[in-house]
């Protein structure tokens, strides 16, 4: 068994059809089939069940898959480690929530760009669920997400806290009053947004288990709809006065236990921490008053 065998195995497992794996790997299906059988023979166990629609993993295949999935990341990390001479340079991909970008990142990114001019910084927006997956898959070097995140493959470093609040139409006096009036609608970002999940939990604790919703892709669209009386949302209080003008919406306070949320910086525990990432974390530590070394 070698690296090429594991790459081929991972492709077949991911695509579910040997012919598709052959196309992706720029080879012929007969070669894929023969090499998979040779791998199974060398391991002494069957890795796939064959059926009319393609193949599916056996128990042995499922046990092998996590190791095969690490190979591309390990090879990429090995190349990065060999080239990294201690000077921050090259591509650095960072994920962040839209709210974090709007409230926290502009000064940090400006300071980092001045301190590390040879780094090509890429900022990728997303929901917490999307960014956790991106870090795990190696699509970004790290990401700012809402905590807590419990994943044995990921390191979660606390960065800062946000104070959340309910936003409603101007003149709204209280959340209990809105709930009592009935026909409550929430205005939220797409599925996977941690604030959306928290709002649903806040309402469920108050006897509203499944509110109707309107889903939007930007904060500006959400605030416009809330201001027009179409529903309520849950977001960091600090957005008022910046993304949302003061007085445009009503701000309804929550108890401290529901209002406080910690933002953490995620990265893979087994990933190579480049000089660029180490410098970024050091800069973040200065910006947020933390010891944030890699």
pLDDT single digits (tens) 51-87: 988 999 999 999 999 889 888 778 888 888 888 888 9
The pLDDT of residue 122 is above 60: yes
Q: How large is the average pLDDT for residues 189-197?
A: 88
The pLDDT of residue 291 is above 60: no
The pLDDT of residue 293 is above 60: no
For residue 97, give the nearest of 196, 175, 171 by alpha carbon.
196
Domains and CATH numbers, the chain: 3-83 (1.10.10.10), 90-160+262-288 (3.40.190.10), 163-260 (3.40.190.10)
pLDDT single digits (tens) 260-274: 999 999 999 988 899
* Residues above pLDDT 90, as percent of the chain: 73
CB 91, CB 122: distance < 8 Å: yes
pLDDT at position 294: 44
Tell how strand 90-96 and strand 142-146 pair up.
parallel
For residue 140, give the nearest of 11, 268, 280 by alpha carbon.
268
pLDDT at position 292: 42
pLDDT single digits (tens) 95-120: 999 999 999 999 999 999 999 999 99
pLDDT single digits (tens) 6-59: 999 999 999 999 999 999 999 999 999 999 999 999 999 999 999 988 999 999
CB 123: neighbour CB atoms within 10 A?
13
Residue 206 DSSP label:
T
List, in sequence order, the alpha helices (H) in 44-193.
Answer: 59-83, 98-100, 106-115, 128-137, 175-181
Nearest-angstrom CA–CA distance, 146 and 261: 7
pLDDT single digits (tens) 242-253: 777 778 899 999
pLDDT at position 39: 95
φ and ψ of 66, to 5 deg? -55, -35
Q: How large is the average pLDDT for residues 180-209?
A: 90
Mean pLDDT of the chain: 91
């Amino acid at each position: 068994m070698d690296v090429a065998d594991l790459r081929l195995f991972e492709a077949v497992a991911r695509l579910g059809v040997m012919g598709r794996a052959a196309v992706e790997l720029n080879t012929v299906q007969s070669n894929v089939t023969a090499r998979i059988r040779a791998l199974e023979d060398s391991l002494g166990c069957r890795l796939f069940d064959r059926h009319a629609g393609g193949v599916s993993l056996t128990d042995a295949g499922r046990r092998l898959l996590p190791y095969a999935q690490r190979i591309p990341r390990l090879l990429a990390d090995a190349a990065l480690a060999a080239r990294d001479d201690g000077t921050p340079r090259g591509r650095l991909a960072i994920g962040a929530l839209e709210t974090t970008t709007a409230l926290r990142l502009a000064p940090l990114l400006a300071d980092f760009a001045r301190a590390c001019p040879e780094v090509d910084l890429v900022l990728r927006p997303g929901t917490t669920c999307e960014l956790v997956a991106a870090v795990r898959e190696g699509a970004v070097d790290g990401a700012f997400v809402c905590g807590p995140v419990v994943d044995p493959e990921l390191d979660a470093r606390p960065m800062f806290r946000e104070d959340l609040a309910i936003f409603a139409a101007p003149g709204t006096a209280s959340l209990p009053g809105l709930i009592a009036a009935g026909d409550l609608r929430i205005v939220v970002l797409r599925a996977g947004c941690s604030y959306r999940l928290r709002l649903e939990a806040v309402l469920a604790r108050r006897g509203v288990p499944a509110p109707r919703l309107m889903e939007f892709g930007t904060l500006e669209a959400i605030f416009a709809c809330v201001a027009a009386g179409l529903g309520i949302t849950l977001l960091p209080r600090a957005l008022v006065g910046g993304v949302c003008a003061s007085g445009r919406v009503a701000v309804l306070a929550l108890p401290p236990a529901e209002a406080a949320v910690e933002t953490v910086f995620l990265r893979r525990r087994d990933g190579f921490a480049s000089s660029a990432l180490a410098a970024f974390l050091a800069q973040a530590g200065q910006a947020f008053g933390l010891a944030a070394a890699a």
